[in-house]
Structure 1
Amino acid sequence: MEINALTWTITIAVIVGLLLFDYFAHVRKAHTPTIKEAAIWSAIYVGIALIFGLVFFVFGDTQHAIEYYAGYITEKALSVDNLFVFLVIMASFQVPREYQQKVLLFGITFALISRTVFILLGAAIIELWSDVFYLFGIALLLIAGQQLKGELASSEEKEDQADNIMVRTAKRVLPSTDQYHEDKLFVRINGKRLITPMLLVMVAIGATDVLFAFDSIPAIFGLTQEPYIVFTATAFSLMGLRQLYFLIDGLLDRLVYLSYGLTAILGFIGVKLILHALHENNLFFINGGSDVPVQTIPTHISLMVIVAILIVTVIASLTSPKGKALRTLQNAEKYAYRYTKLDESASADERRDAEAKMDRWTREAEGLSQKWRDALIDNKDRYSSIIRTAHETRWAEAQSNGNGHDANVSKEIVEKQGPTV
């Protein structure tokens, strides 16, 4: 497949068009996407990305097709991991849920711009100095080590670190109001023009995107040196990330071993880069400046290894005791909250179904060991408050309806709830 100026122009126009469509069709009016909406658009964006890779096969360019898919899967996994940090930042700024997709879309746009800059710089450096792959490889191994170290840190340490670096700096440097004014970036109060938290959170996420590019770009250059493939794999991995966030909301937290899987992938690509650099060595102090006879890792093997690591990571996360415990706690909170939101129009069947789910998951959460509750509940007071409120509501309703059994069930649960779970 010939990659020329026309190819670049058409591709960039398509990507810009998709971004503009997102801005004007989806986030122009603040709302929280439904599961159905998120699922449909996630499927559309993933479908576009997969179909794009088939174009290389149509032109008989199998090598670039494999490189594209390997890069796309790697960048998609890294992008999903980035959502965890976005969650911490948005939680720190207490972004209302209906405005979160606008913040995410800004983050995606800024990530695309910043990574495009890094791609161009990386391609220029490789053209001038091929031995830069040594540095890329060492950088990825160091990043993998840092990611492993961060994963082993406590959740409080991770949250404090994100808050110190991103949130506190933005709040200290920029004069702002503490209140959201819909999704406005600026507001005038008492004649003074102030920045709203909406802009602050965008600044924080933009700064984070630059940091993410340092592991993202070397990783994909370890799979392909074709700038067009690097750009398209990166761009399509970011497209649809906003919809994916709302589709797998809750599941994100359950991927408890995702960071370990990404650590393994980054370490693997780091080794692959160093082997590639040795195979095409030009450094005089290594083997006298001659190529080192080492076995390099073909791209199709890299693709299989990356897919295998991700499959093992997801299965281990969802089936491990830690993953199951987190699912139990999340469901107990979710169904208790949903019960309190039932309105008077809810049918008797809907109310019974909501009660059954709330009871089931609350019981299972109570059966978890204190170890898991301490490790997995970030805000114990908030968690307890949601559980208490739901069962106090049901207790009162059951008493007024003369349902002694339901009243006793909720009374028992409320009495067990202390200030923390």
Structure 2
Amino acid sequence: MSNEVIFFAGFIVFVIFVMMLDLGAFSRQRSHIVQFKEAAAWSAVWVTLAIGFYFFLRNFGYWVHDISDPSHLAAVQGLYYQNLTLPADFDAALTKFQNNMALEYLTGYLVEYSLSVDNIFVFILIFSSFGVREIYYKKVLVWGILGSIVLRFIFIFLGSALIQQFSWILYIFGAFLVYTGLKILFTKDEEENIDVQKHPAVKLTSRYFNVFERYVVDHFFIRSKRTGKLYVTPLFVVMIVIAFTDVIFAVDSIPAIFSITKDPYIVFFSNVFAIMGLRSMFFFLVNVIDMFAYLKYGLGVLLTFIGLKMLFEHQLHEWGFNNMYSLIVIVGILAVSIIVSLLFPPKEKKLAEVKE
């Protein structure tokens, strides 16, 4: 077994362990309403782990692809880092390669984490539409997001294989992101509703499983004492809807990160840290999300920028527009949208505050 496989397996085990710790699987703590303080603490934990992984890649990034000699480094560079020029000396080349890999990971993580904010609005809508009690939010989110990680893993490595085979797909991704970004910028907010019975995930689950008619504490499965049949509970259905919804959002976010790096491992790592932090961020932001009214438009600008970057990658490379500049632009877009939201809240919000 190669060191590459061992490293990847170890990373998966580590993520599952931290997720179980977050869920409370190693304690007798029952389902509970996540308070702001707990959410803030776990948000800090996931952000710290994500940043720590950046420094890990800077120093031990060669473990990811099991790089042990110049020929192996050249092979990986040819596959995923064609625009990266490396010095002749192997040690210097490896150092530059690892620094570039770490920077791509950090930029991708920031993009994915930012785009995940949009999921929060939809998750709130899902819980409200399905009448889920707040005490069960945490369990549903953790398991739903775990399911989405598996699906994203498939999408990422399938997308990477397609890009390696058909490089022109990047232009389709770029055009799609520009379209999505402009649509966000120029589409008015509308009240959204979810028709529970007609939701595709609900219909699919109902077709292949026996669905129990009511919630049963915090169980996903229950066996009928009368018939002996195994049923899935409505809470299980909500978990499937959460995973399904996150995958739908991945249609935007995964192409976005492929504009930053072509390395499927880096795409996967940044996705994992971003969406695992999404659960705690949900509880952290759920009560203050209205304060960031213009963040949506910031995300629209962000997607448009990333799409244009993907469409004009070769020209930008010739002009010396590297990953550090991309990171600066992305941070700037997000910072401006947050600052504007705080300094100039919408008039509707001001009127509501006055009436109160």
SS of structure 2 residue aligned to 1:321: coil
SS of structure 2 residue aligned to 1:4: helix
Q: Post-superposition shift, 1:107?
A: 2.4
TM-score by length of 1: 0.67
The aligned residue for residue 308 of structure 1 is 332
The verdict on how the C-alpha distance between 1:320 and 1:189 changes in structure 2, with shifts beyond 3 A counting, is: farther
Q: Post-superposition shift, 1:30?
A: 0.7
The aligned residue for residue 8 of structure 2 is 8
The verdict on how the C-alpha distance between 1:111 and 1:293 changes in structure 2, with shifts beyond 3 A counting, is: closer
In structure 1, give the amino acid aligned to 2:328. Answer: M
* 8 Å contact from structure 2 (residues 39, 284) kept in 1: yes
Does 1 or 2 have the higher relative contact order (CA < 8 Å, sep 6+)? 2
The verdict on how the C-alpha distance between 1:15 and 1:193 changes in structure 2, with shifts beyond 3 A counting, is: closer
SS of structure 2 residue aligned to 1:239: helix
Q: Post-superposition shift, 1:293?
A: 9.4
Q: Post-superposition shift, 1:8?
A: 2.1
Summarize deviations over 1:71-121 as a string: whole Å, max 9, x none: 010000111211111111111011101000111112221221111111101
Tell me, which stretches of 5 or more residues in structure 1 are unaligned?
Answer: 280-291, 330-363, 368-421
The aligned residue for residue 42 of structure 1 is 43
The aligned residue for residue 385 of structure 1 is none
The aligned residue for residue 260 of structure 2 is 223
Identical pairs, percent? 36
SS of structure 1 residue aligned to 2:218: coil
The aligned residue for residue 379 of structure 1 is none
**Cα distance in 2, alignment partners of residues 17 and 261 from structure 1:** 34
The aligned residue for residue 30 of structure 2 is 29
The aligned residue for residue 109 of structure 1 is 146
Q: Post-superposition shift, 1:127?
A: 1.5
The aligned residue for residue 182 of structure 1 is 217
RMSD, aligned α-carbons: 2.9
Q: Post-superposition shift, 1:298?
A: 1.6
The verdict on how the C-alpha distance between 1:197 and 1:229 changes in structure 2, with shifts beyond 3 A counting, is: same
In structure 1, give the amino acid aligned to 2:300. Answer: T
Summarize deviations over 1:175-211 as a string: whole Å, max 9, x none: 6455322112344487576543212211221221221
Summarize deviations over 1:32-57 as a string: whole Å, max 9, x none: 12322222221111101101101233
State which drifts further: 174-183 or 238-247: 174-183
Picking from 157, 176, 200, the partner of 1:139 is 176
Q: Does 1:68 align with 2:105?
A: yes
Summarize deviations over 1:256-280 as a string: whole Å, max 9, x none: 122211111111111111112x55x
The aligned residue for residue 94 of structure 1 is 131
Aligned ranges 1:372-387 → 2 under 5 Å? none
**Cα distance in 2, alignment partners of residues 76 and 27 from structure 1:** 31
The verdict on how the C-alpha distance between 1:328 and 1:293 changes in structure 2, with shifts beyond 3 A counting, is: closer
The verdict on how the C-alpha distance between 1:83 and 1:167 changes in structure 2, with shifts beyond 3 A counting, is: farther
The aligned residue for residue 366 of structure 1 is 355
* 8 Å contact from structure 1 (residues 27, 101) kept in 2: no
Summarize deviations over 1:101-159 as a string: whole Å, max 9, x none: 11111222122111111110111112212222111111212222343455x142x2xx1
* 8 Å contact from structure 1 (residues 89, 166) kept in 2: no
The aligned residue for residue 130 of structure 1 is 167
Q: Post-superposition shift, 1:13?
A: 2.4
Q: Post-superposition shift, 1:242?
A: 1.6
In structure 2, give the amino acid aligned to 1:316. Answer: V
Q: Post-superposition shift, 1:327?
A: 8.0
Tell me, which stretches of 5 or more residues in structure 2 are unaligned?
Answer: 61-94
Aligned ranges 1:195-274 → 2 under 5 Å? 195-274=232-311
